[in-house]
Structure 1
């Protein structure tokens, strides 16, 4: 399987998604469209991973629109897609749904609650890393997958091959450090989780997050 990853900022990488790919001996390619403008084709993509970033799907940038063309083709071909944060928003936007300000800005660690039994083996509650102030509308044709205390629309499952999460299960501890030290002003500005960059680092990554990330990827690629 060829996994194509769209990364949108240097400090939000694939984390445990790369570990999953290596554990299954998949080919793993990382694209940086915000810098180089290159995207894979649909025909050379078996799984598309769309990562987070500081931009919005509403931004009027050619490469953001080109990403949605690729996502549309993969949706039509029923290929697996996983989106995190901005990536989940891009999937929803491709399907014609609105992206707008969330009722609360969440930056840091907070619980998320599993909302459907469609994917077996997912705990009812997990602690995820949040790094966002926008959110997606859950597509009518999708199931609500996760919610948090502050923002209901935290994840969706579309069919059996597409998952979008508003938060992050993929970061490993080095990824958390990278996010916190480079984007260190973002948690300090009107953050409804009231966590500092150092507090975010000190929290550590729950072991369950990598396990659940693997389960989600296993589910959409089965």
Structure 2
């Protein structure tokens, strides 16, 4: 399987998604459309699409952001597995015609999320995830609410056994968290989670996050 990854900032890479890809014997190709003149994979060369987070908004008018949604729509029409994290989940919802707007609260740091659906088997009822956002998506009518947090109901959705979007991050491992924080520590300001960059760095990445990431990716590819 060819997995095409859309990465949107140097500090937010695929993390444990790469580990999953290697363990399942897939090939991963990472694209950086924000940097390399909007280069994107072709739909007919995409067996699975991963859309990672970033500082931009789906409401921005950059041509490559619009072109991403054209690609997403083609893959939705073809029932290709798609996983989106943060901005990536917002792009999926925007492609389906739903609103992206300011969340009730800016969430930056570690906080629990709660399972709201049994669509994906064997997931824990509560997990602690890394949050790094202040926008949110509407849950598409075609989808099912998958996760909520204390500050935001719409934290994740699952659709048609092929698409999962999460507003938060299960994919970062310890090195990834360090990379995010040392480069974007100023973003913690104004977060209602009230965690400093040191607080975030000193929090151990829950081992179950990688296990759940694997289960989510297995679910949409099986």
TM range (shorter): over 0.9
Q: CA RMSD in A?
A: 0.4
Alignment size in residue pairs: 221
TM-superposition CA deviations, 1:31-58 (whole Å, max 9, x none): 0000001100110000100000000000
After the TM superposition, which residues 203-222 of structure 1 pair with which residues of structure 2 at under 5 Å, given as runs?
203-222=203-222
TM-superposition CA deviations, 1:142-196 (whole Å, max 9, x none): 0000000000000000110000000000000000000001001001x21100001
Question: Which runs of structure 1 show a deviation greater than 6 angstroms over 4 or more consecutive aligned residues?
Answer: none
- Between the aligned partners of 1:39 and 1:171, the Cα distance in structure 2 is 23
Alignment partner, residue 117 of structure 2: 116
After the TM superposition, which residues 1-222 of structure 1 pair with which residues of structure 2 at under 5 Å, given as runs?
1-36=1-36, 37-187=38-188, 189-222=189-222
- Between the aligned partners of 2:197 and 2:95, the Cα distance in structure 1 is 33
CA apart distance, 1:198: 1.1
- Between the aligned partners of 1:117 and 1:101, the Cα distance in structure 2 is 28
CA apart distance, 1:91: 0.1
- Between the aligned partners of 2:183 and 2:198, the Cα distance in structure 1 is 12
Question: Which 5+ residue runs of structure 1 have no aligned equivalent?
Answer: none
CA apart distance, 1:204: 1.5
